[in-house]
Amino acid sequence: MIKELFEHYPPYHHLVASTQLVLAMFGMGIVTRPRDFVELVLEPKPMITGLLYQLLGIPLLTAALVYLIKLPPEVVVGLILISAMPGGSLSNIYTHLGKGNVALSVALTGVMTLLALVTAPLILRLFAGDFLPPEIGMPVGVIMREIFVFLLLPLFIGMIVARFMEEKKAHVCSKWAVRASLLVLAILVVGSMGSGSLDFRRYSLRIPLLIFLYCLVIQIIALRGSRHLLGFSDRDAVALGIESSMKNINLAVLIAASLFGIKGPNAEFGAGVLFVLLLYGGISLGVAASAMRSNLRRLRREGLRE
């Protein structure tokens, strides 16, 4: 019975990935308010810095990494795809729990999500085009459509729905939408593993260790650099560190599903990309949690924790 379910999973891979993303972005949209973006106008320097981190810094760092270290092409494509993604809804939650600047985190997520419509295909074309299988071009139109339909549209719908709901009900609705998205994500992972398309034994320990260091370095540069080199407040630095390292892996998984599928001539390549995406998503949760706990300990020592 279970084996038959796994055998029937592949044709639904893209549907599962898109459902997961729609639920996550709808949930985020419900708790996003236009006033959250006032921070962008009142204090533009941290916002501009965060945009530069994600638009230039991280893609260039990733390109240098894959140039200096010989990696399987599917791993390269996975890392470049991660670098092209905006922050995800979890980054806002982690920033809130870590007493960071939530308004800055939300503004960065929103603006980067809008910019991703143009920047994500551009980054992929510039840095990942040479590593794709020959028969796969860079479908800019497909990527832009996926970002608009499954990321921007649910976000805007969530914001509109929230206008007609009480704040308490809106938070409950958002919470259940996010929970449902996590359940669908679990189905995606289990389905991919059970169908044989996601095999965690295919790489040595070198790749997971590299992905861990990659995520950690991104956060250290964004957090420590913002705090010690640019002189930003701890609240801003925490938001920038978490936002830079916690990417919208849901969107990356959806794009990978569109590009490679889970069956066919590029399925094995796509499985390698999916491995990188899911592994980075899990690692980024732990890396961001360390920044969150570190800031809470600092606040506790200073007697500032709310």
Query: Kindly report the CA angle at 116 between 200 and 109, in degrees rounded to 5?
Result: 85
Instruction: Work out the pLDDT band at 194, boundaries 50, 70, 90.
Output: low
With bands split at pLDDT 50, 70 and 90, how would you rate the model's confidence at 196?
Answer: low
Give me the pLDDT at residue 54, please.
Answer: 93
Region 196-215: mean pLDDT is 79
Segment 156-185, tens digit of pLDDT? 888 888 888 877 777 788 778 877 877 776
C-alpha to C-alpha distance for 169 and 181, rounded to whole angstroms: 18
For residues 29-48, give the mean pLDDT: 71
Question: Mean pLDDT, the chain, as a whole number?
Answer: 79
Q: Is the four-CA dihedral 292, 244, 277, 32 of positive or negative sign?
A: positive
Q: Is residue 305 part of a domain?
A: no
The two structure tokens encoding residue 186: 């679990």
Any idea what DSSP says for residue 86? -
Rounded Cα gap, residues 30 and 247, in angstroms: 20
- Give the rounded distance of the alpha carbon of 74 from its chain centre: 18
pLDDT for 37: 61
Q: Please report the DSSP string for 225-266 in residue order.
A: IIIIIS---HHHHHHHHHHHHSB-HHHHHHHHHHHH-SSSTT
The pLDDT of residue 61 is 95
User: Quick one: pLDDT band at residue 204, thresholds 50, 70, 90?
Assistant: confident
> Is the pLDDT score of 146 beyond 80?
no
Number of structural domains the chain divides into = 1
Find the mean pLDDT for residues 30-53: 75
Can you give the pLDDT at residue 31?
67
Query: Could you tell me if 238 and 227 are in contact, meaning their C-beta atoms sit under 8 angstroms apart?
Result: no
DSSP 105-158: HHHHHHHHHHHHHHHHHHHHHHHHGGGS-TT----HHHHHHHHIIIIIHHHHHH
CA-closest candidate to residue 33, choices 85, 92, 112: 92
Per-residue pLDDT, 305? 46
Phi, psi of 70 (to 5 degrees): -75, 120
Q: For 68-85, what is each residue's pLDDT tens digit? A: 998 999 999 999 999 999
Answer whether residue 303 is part of any domain: no
> Which stretch of 118-122, 227-231, 259-263 has the lowest confidence by average pLDDT?
259-263
Q: Judge contact between 239 and 102, C-beta under 8 A.
A: yes
DSSP 277: H
What's the confidence (pLDDT) of residue 302?
74
15-31 average pLDDT score: 74
The secondary structure of 161-201 as a DSSP string is: HHTTS-HHHHHHHHHHHHHHHHHHHHHHHHHHHHTTS--TT
Segment of 103-107, 185-189, 257-261, 269-273 carrying the highest mean pLDDT: 269-273
Q: What is the pLDDT of residue 125?
A: 84
Identity of the highest mean pLDDT range in 5-14, 123-132, 221-230, 269-278: 221-230
| pLDDT, tens only, 295-306 | 888 878 776 544
Would you say residue 302 lies in a domain? no
We report the CATH number of the domain holding residue 12 as: 1.20.1530.20
Mean pLDDT of 125-147: 72
pLDDT at position 210 is: 93
CA distance 142 to 121: 9
Q: Residue 21 sits in which domain range?
A: 2-297
